[in-house]
Structure 1
Amino acid sequence: MEEFNINIGERIKRLRHMRNLTLQDVANFTGFSKALISQIENNVVTPPITTLAKIAKVLNVKMVYFFEDDLDFKEYYLVKKNDRKIAYREGAKHGYIYEELAHIKNNDIFESFVVTIRSEPREKKLFSHEGYEFMYILEGGIRMYLNNDVVTLEEGDSISFSSKIPHYAETLGDKDAKILSIRMKSIDIKALINQAGKDK
């Protein structure tokens, strides 16, 4: 039981540092006192589930993060070309192949992929979700649909946009396209502050 508590406190502290948040920041966003957050991090106090849920929300992770056994914290993550993993995403059903560039466990801040877009005909389906995206064309070219706008991107071009905009990409001509894709999750700090005020 002691090891369980130590892991939770250490994980909260480490993740807070990774997010560049102070004890006071977490206290402000959760509505708890700075002293309580410090006690939780130092395993003086074992937080109840409701408290842990608020801390998880501020640190932008799922609560299960604090209970998993196989977390692997490192200063850097190296992925060799032949070690890339094929990741399943919704777009896989629409001709997109995602190769993970970073095997970072439990990282809800960003994802990075090399995405191959097949040139084969398929249904044109626009996607929208939370966050932001950056795309850099490594090979080939794509036609990007962003709501009612259409832009053409060729090798060496890049684009960044809010993922809330309905979007879709298809290749130019009959050649597959390869893209560096970085996706960042948005954090609604205002909502966190407002919620913290309501929960005080």
Structure 2
Amino acid sequence: MQEDMLIQISYKIKEIRKQKNITVQELADRANVSKGLISQIENNRTVPSLPVLMNIVLSLNLDLNEFFKDITPNRKSEQKIIIKTPKDYQTFEKEAKGFQYHRAFTRNVQGGPVDFVILELKKGAKRNKMITSESFEYNYMIRGKVEYTIEDEKILFNEGESLFFDSRLPHKLANAGNTDAMMLVVYFFIAR
């Protein structure tokens, strides 16, 4: 399945859920999955299995044909050179206050999706709970300073530095500086 179609599916789940005033927790309960999984699917952090996707769609009280009728391949994804400006970025939310994610683009590279995201952390922003993602993660600190906690290890991450890790490991981050921070995050999703 092409990466642009995966993004369309994720976006459509979130939009329909919001239109129907269903919370993430309510949808998770209806589909018999965790709240975290719904959040990861809606934010294109993981690809649901077919049975899970069907349960989610049916839990939104939609017919499967109706849900998929507008999801089509985007031929732009076949371009060899892609240029995006900030107005093209797709902003998506996370549970943590002060975290702003802006997806530049997602591409399928060597059989797996790769997601390129600009992450802005407001001064004082921190994630309280450890999270995981079905990916490997590369981070480049554009500006500011953050503290990563990966399992039990704390890492101070400064401007101009890079970090690569298996994001299936529990991790969290916090803005450790006196100003807003910005980083490039590249997610290399693990093919199942």
The two structures have a TM-score, normalised by structure 2, of 0.56
Alignment of 1:154-193 (within 5 A): 154-188=158-192
Match of 2:156 among 152, 162, 167: 152
The one-letter code matched in structure 2 to 1:130 is E
| Aligned CA distance change for structure 1 residues 122 and 149 (closer, same or farther; 3 Å) | closer
Higher helix share: 1
Equivalent position of 2:113 in the other structure? 109
1:94 aligns with 2:97: yes
CA distance in 1, matches of 2:188, 2:98: 22
Q: Could you tell me how far 1:120 is from its partner in structure 2?
A: 2.9
Q: Could you tell me how far 1:116 is from its partner in structure 2?
A: 0.3
CA distance in 2, matches of 1:183, 1:172: 22
Q: Could you tell me how far 1:142 is from its partner in structure 2?
A: 0.5
Which ranges of structure 1 fall in alignment gaps of 5 or more residues? 1-7, 12-59, 189-200
1:118 aligns with 2:139: no
Match of 2:142, SS state, is strand
| Aligned CA distance change for structure 1 residues 96 and 84 (closer, same or farther; 3 Å) | farther
CA distance in 1, matches of 2:93, 2:127: 16
What is the percentage of aligned positions where both structures have the same residue? Answer: 14
Which ranges of structure 2 fall in alignment gaps of 5 or more residues? 3-46, 51-66
1:85 aligns with 2:89: yes
Equivalent position of 2:145 in the other structure? 141
Q: Could you tell me how far 1:75 is from its partner in structure 2?
A: 1.9
- The question of whether the paired residues in 1 share the 8 Å contact of 2:148 and 2:156 is answered with yes
Match of 1:83, SS state, is helix
CA distance in 2, matches of 1:89, 1:135: 19
CA distance in 2, matches of 1:183, 1:129: 9
The two structures have a TM-score, normalised by structure 1, of 0.54
> Structure 1, residues 141-170: CA drift from partner, whole Å, max 9, x if none?
110110100000101111000011111111
Higher strand share: 2
